[in-house]
Amino acid sequence: MDELRIGERVLAITRGDITRIPADAIVNAANSALVGGGGVDGAIHRAGGPAIMAELRERYGPHRHCPTGSAVVTGAGNLPARWVIHAVGPIWRGGGAGEPELLASAYRTSCELASGLGARTITFPAISTGVYGYPIEEAARVALATVREHLAGETTLERATFVLFSADSYEAFERALTELAAGSAGG
């Protein structure tokens, strides 16, 4: 399964490079200092060009900070999008430090910001599953359930797509999407 319909809206997964998938808003797995980094964050800054970092500095200052579970917005530079939503997910500390709530909050805040901008399409990476160490199976369930909940409510978003870089990530999200669809059908 690679997509789930929620009324007229779509929650989808695909495998690929998030910097190449057109969308109104692209979500970046950012760090709390908003300084760029490795993984998805580095790829988005490289593909988007220096305008993204310049706007982060201009809008949020030289000592910028975005709390875990929150997000901020910039333009998208050279990316095939209008906006980048820089979301800060939690570092995995074993699951007892509020990680699921913080991860859900990062996705929820991203959806709310995108809807506030009038975005109709949004792409997401698997936030916190790289160097932050969040187990992919658990992260996929939290991510998909949170975005599905948003799509079921009042929003401008019509399509939310998780763009997964590795086969392992795609397979974990595919399993979680199948579970979510089964739960939706039964509930």
Q: Give me the pLDDT at residue 95, please.
A: 94
The CATH homologous superfamily of the domain defined by 3-182: Leucine Aminopeptidase, subunit E, domain 1 (3.40.220.10)
Q: Are 156 and 115 in contact (CB under 8 A)?
A: yes
CA distance 74 to 151: 23
Q: Give me the pLDDT at residue 36, please.
A: 86
Q: Give me the pLDDT at residue 27, please.
A: 98
Full pLDDT tens readout for the chain, 187 residues: 699 999 999 999 999 999 999 999 999 999 999 988 889 999 999 999 999 999 999 998 888 899 999 999 999 999 999 999 999 999 999 999 999 999 999 999 999 999 999 999 999 999 999 999 999 999 999 999 999 999 999 999 999 999 999 999 999 999 999 999 998 765 4
Q: Give me the pLDDT at residue 184, please.
A: 74
Can you read off the two tokens belonging to residue 187? 């509930």
Q: Read off the pTM.
A: 0.96
Can you read off the two tokens belonging to residue 148? 């599905």
Q: Give me the pLDDT at residue 1, please.
A: 67
Q: Give domain limits for the chain.
A: 3-182
As annotated, the active-site residues are 41
Q: Where are the alpha helices (DSSP H) in the chain?
A: 39-48, 50-60, 99-117, 136-151, 167-186
One-letter amino acid at 148 equals R
Q: Give me the pLDDT at residue 186, please.
A: 54
